[in-house]
Amino acid sequence: METSKRILITGAAGFLGSHLCDFYTDKGYHVIAMDNLITGHLDNITHLSELDNFEFVNHDVSEHISIEGDLDYILHFASPASPIDYLKIPIQTLKVGSLGIHNCLGLAKAKGARVLIASTSEVYGDPDVHPQHEEYFGNVNPVGPRGVYDEAKRFQEAMTMAYHTFHGLETRIVRIFNTYGPRMRLNDGRVLPAFIGQALRGEDLTVFGDGSQTRSFCYVDDLIEGIYRLLMSGYHMPVNIGNPSEITISQFAEEIMELTGTDQKVVYRDLPVNDPKQRQPDIKLAKELLDWIPKIDREEGLKRTYAYFKTLTDEQLRETEHHNFENYIKR
């Protein structure tokens, strides 16, 4: 499909950003992929480098963004999204959600572009409403260890809405729930890659807390389709995109051991501070507004994800650190 539309994707070398690059290049958009590689990896997008409608720009969106020529859309997906990362680089996490979105919105205003921002279910914090709907204001600790990520995303939503109401900018806000699939980092601290990595290495599976906390996992292809539909809609308020199929962490550990054919035991550790005890999206709005529902069930999605992780080398499987952040930290 050919189109003259040009789209800027920030965080393009990350998990979700790289899948967005695939999606939009395949649709014929000219994709400008921007990433400073603080948590992203070029391996995620090198397969696109020979395409005429793809270009990569190594840039930190917390600094002024300059793009030559027309621009139709901006997808702001730049942010550390792993608890391991945003505890190590808390200030950078706050800056990309504040200065980064300000720069993206300023660019959009200058270019007359539509902006879609990647918000998160973490804006709901440790919710006391279940499932979580878009009208719920959340239960977030702004000074807890997770606050740098949660509040960066909440500020990002507020800034985006301010540009919409004050400047009339076309904006979209997607609240993304737990998503998984190929190109997830094995060592990013989230439960799905952690379990698969431990199973592949022959280690016991580590459950934090008593395992009764719940998560809902959405396969990445479903999420990308939902994002596309939201971008093309006329709706400017937040929309949940996620899979409402809920499972406890203990049940999930059992599923992973069955999938991988391993017989390790599950070991239990203390629950991290402010870790949400339940997470499930109410997707009624996405169904009604976007005619969107997730189509890939957890069994199929896990098979695809496991197949990807099995292609990793033994060295990659045993990496404990993703990045040395020293070059990005100002003392």
Which of 29, 149, 163, 228 is catalytic? The answer is 149
Query: CA 140 to CA 234: how far, in whole Å?
Result: 29
Helix (H, G, I), strand (E, B) or coil at 73: strand
Classify residue 168 as left (phi > 0), alpha (psi -120 to 50) or beta.
left
Q: Which two tokens stand for residue 91?
A: 């200030």
CA 129 to chain centroid: 22
Query: CA 44 to CA 48: how far, in whole Å?
Result: 9
C-alpha pair distances (Å), 288 with each of 19, 134, 169: 25, 13, 24
Residue type, 73: Y
Q: CB–CB of 243/219 below 8 Å?
A: yes
For residues 171-199, one letter each, b for 16 or more C-beta atoms within 10 angstroms of the residue's C-beta and e for the rest, the string is bbbbbbbbbbbbbbbbbbbbbbbbbbbbb
φ, ψ dihedrals at 316, nearest 5°: -65, -40
Would residue 149 show up in a list of annotated catalytic residues for this protein? yes
Helix (H, G, I), strand (E, B) or coil at 71: coil
Among the residues of 212-312, which ranges form H helices? 220-231, 249-260, 284-290, 298-309
DSSP 48: G
List residues with catalytic annotation: 149
